[in-house]
């Protein structure tokens, strides 16, 4: 059992434990999941339409994105995955996906067989519930994002993205919400918030000039977090961290 695999699985377990209670036995079942780790260059497609995947992949390091490809070629990113995220957990119950999951920066991921995940879910009801809940949190996040794209303007969307990623990074111990690594281009940022790279650039300039935050070479530095949160209408319940056991 490789070190990277153990680390990734325990990060995943930590994530599950944020919202669910699992016994010692159940925890070790999660930690005992099989998997093999892989080093991937950036822009590598992990899953794509037509590929019926036998694996779900867990992020050990780096940044991945799930995106939806329009017929015209325009991409829309629907989720960003950071270390500890079971990327596209959805795919474990819906194996033939209609979207793409790809690395954004060079990353290391752990492939976990779908079958193994379903097996421990079948054996331990509490794990099944935890995975179901994790999928629900994913869905709730997507719902929030729909609200963002449907009703909010460019400033608000961009601000929200940085607020959200800051908290998530902080939560997994990768920097603080005031300063963290987000290894993506402005083009990619645009794909997340539904804007062109040009417009994202102008928004970033405005944030820089008003000393709210800067984004340079994949590093975010927030100078006025209070204002950033305000622009984003960001509330901390957003990420639904509390523990939801009945």
Partner DNA sequence: CGGGCATTTGAAGCTGATCAAAATCAGTGG
Partner DNA sequence: CCACTGATTTTGATCAGCTTCAAATGCCCG
Alpha carbon 117 to its chain's center: 19
Considering only 151, 209, 226, 243, the residue that binds a copy of itself (CB under 8 A) is 151
- Which one of the spans 79-87, 127-135, 139-147, 185-193 is the region binding DNA (CB under 7 A)? 185-193
Which partner in a copy of itself, DNA, none is near 170 (CB below 5 to 8 A by kind)? Answer: none
Q: Are 103 and 63 in contact (CB under 8 A)?
A: yes
Sign of CA dihedral 136, 220, 206, 75: negative
Record the tokens describing residue 57, joined without a space. 């992949």
Torsion of CA 200, 202, 206, 208, to 10 degrees: 70
201 lies in the site for DNA, by CB under 7 A = yes
The SS3 of residue 237 is helix
Q: Which helix (H) or strand (E) holds 62?
A: none
Per-residue exposure over 67-86, b if at least 16 CB sit within 10 Å of its own CB, e if not? beeeeeeebbbbbbbbbbbb
- The CA distance from 51 to 67, in Å, is 15
Residue 12's binding partner among DNA, a copy of itself, none (Cβ under 5 to 8 angstroms by kind) is none
155 touches DNA by CB under 7 A: yes
Q: Is 24 in the site for a copy of itself (CB under 8 A)?
A: no
CB of 73 to DNA, least distance (A): 11
Query: Pick from DNA, a copy of itself, none: which does 196 bind, CB < 5 to 8 A by kind?
Result: DNA
Among 1, 32, 36, 94, binds a copy of itself (CB under 8 A): 94
Per the CB < 8 A criterion, the answer to whether 106 and 131 are in contact is no
Sole binder of a copy of itself in the list 152, 199, 202, 208 (CB under 8 A): 152
Contact residues toward DNA (CB under 7 A) are 153-155, 185-187, 194-199, 201-202, 204-205, 216-217
Contact residues toward a copy of itself (CB under 8 A) are 66, 68, 70-71, 74-76, 78-79, 89-90, 93-99, 114-115, 118, 121-123, 125-126, 128-129, 131-133, 135-140, 142-147, 149-152, 191, 193-194, 233, 237-238, 240, 244, 246
């Amino acid at each position: 059992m490789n070190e990277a695999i153990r680390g990734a699985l325990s990060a995943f377990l930590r994530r599950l434990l944020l919202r669910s209670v699992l016994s010692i036995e159940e925890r070790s079942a999660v930690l005992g999941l099989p998997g093999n780790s892989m080093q991937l260059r950036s822009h590598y497609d992990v899953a794509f339409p037509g590929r019926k995947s036998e694996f779900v992949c867990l992020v050990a390091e780096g940044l991945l994105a799930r995106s939806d490809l329009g017929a015209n070629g325009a991409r829309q990113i629907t989720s960003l995955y950071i270390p500890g995220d079971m990327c596209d957990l959805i795919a474990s119950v819906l194996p033939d996906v209609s979207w793409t999951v790809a690395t954004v920066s060079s990353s290391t991921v752990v492939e976990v067989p779908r079958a193994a995940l379903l097996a421990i879910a079948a054996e331990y009801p509490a794990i099944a519930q935890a995975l179901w809940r994790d999928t629900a949190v994913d869905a709730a996040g997507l719902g929030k994002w729909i609200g963002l794209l449907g009703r909010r303007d460019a400033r608000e969307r961009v601000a929200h993205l940085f607020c959200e990623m800051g908290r998530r990074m902080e939560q997994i111990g990768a920097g603080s919400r005031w300063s963290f690594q987000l290894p993506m281009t402005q083009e990619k940022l645009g794909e997340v918030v539904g804007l062109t790279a040009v417009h994202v650039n102008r928004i970033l300039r405005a944030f820089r000039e008003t000393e709210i935050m800067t984004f340079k070479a994949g590093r975010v530095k927030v100078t006025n977090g209070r204002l950033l949160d305000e622009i984003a209408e960001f509330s901390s319940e957003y990420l639904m961290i509390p523990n939801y056991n009945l």
